[in-house]
Amino acid sequence: MYRITVILMIAVLFNSSIIYADKDNVSIRIEMLPWEKVNNILPKYSKFTVLDVETGKKFQVQRRAGSNHADVQPLTSKDTKIMKKVYDGKWSWKRRAIIVINGNQWIAASMHGMPHGAGALKNNFPGHFCIHFYGSTTHRTNFMDLSHKLMILKSAGKLQEYVNNNDPYEIIRAFIAGLKQQDAQIVSAVSLQKIKWKSLLENVENINLSRMLVMPIEDLTEELSLEIPIEVDMVIKDSGGRSFKGKINLVRFSPYSAWKIDSIQFLEDSQLVLKNNKKA
């Protein structure tokens, strides 16, 4: 299984949805199944494995509840310990790309790492946490949470396809979501420049897009560059909260190319950029 995990991480990095597990080309397909199907595949009290895409760590969980997504708990104290290591020893609402392994079926999913609500298992986990699949919604809305959606696409190897075929406003939303979730792969997918994201993202404790001026998409079909006015609220490590009111610049090389964000300009304008951390 160690070899499969390593190959999985490489495959996700390069946006592949099929993993070859050995020299005989035995393959495991990562499926991006809609929540309606997963809800039946993983009924209440079912047990399955969670594989974290970034770290390759695995732990067992049990679904306990949930109607719009799966409310789950780590199965044992050992599983709780592994899950906490995935989050660097600190529970967090940050979304993470995961693979749910149920027998021979591998399903793209997303989780957060914050215990909340009730818990029923003796596992040293004070509550439950949520796992989202494609089409899952939160308790508060009837729409997919964008950060969960991006993580599911990342798990399924479909993130680049998503950003290549979306409008500039969705690209901006994905960029802000990637900063919020401290996910280098998401922000890199929409960035014009290569940037050393790791140390920069560690300083973004929170960021939210509070306002964006949106024009009709049909008015942008021939545009190759855009300046989109935005307002952003953010919390920066050791600096506290502040707001940015300005613009994001986007470019593409033809009307059929993907939109890319001028990340360096945004980081400088918003004062998110760190010294000596502009280019890779």
Identity (one letter) of the amino acid at 215?
Answer: M
pTM to 2 decimals? 0.89
pLDDT tens readout for residues 122-178: 999 999 999 999 999 987 788 899 999 999 999 999 999 999 999 999 999 999 999
Span 220-236, pLDDT tens digits: 889 999 999 999 999 99
In 3-state terms, what secondary structure has residue 26?
coil
> CA 128, 134, 137, 138 torsion: positive or negative?
positive
Report the C-alpha gap between 72 and 129 in whole angstroms: 6
Rounded Cα gap, residues 23 and 213, in angstroms: 52
Predicted confidence (pLDDT) per residue in 63-101, tens digit: 999 999 999 999 999 999 999 999 999 999 999 999 999
Evaluate if residue 117 carries a pLDDT over 90: no
Rounded distance between C-alpha atoms, residue 50 and residue 276, angstroms: 37
**Gap between the Cα atoms of 47 and 134, Å rounded:** 20
Rounded mean pLDDT of 12-23? 44
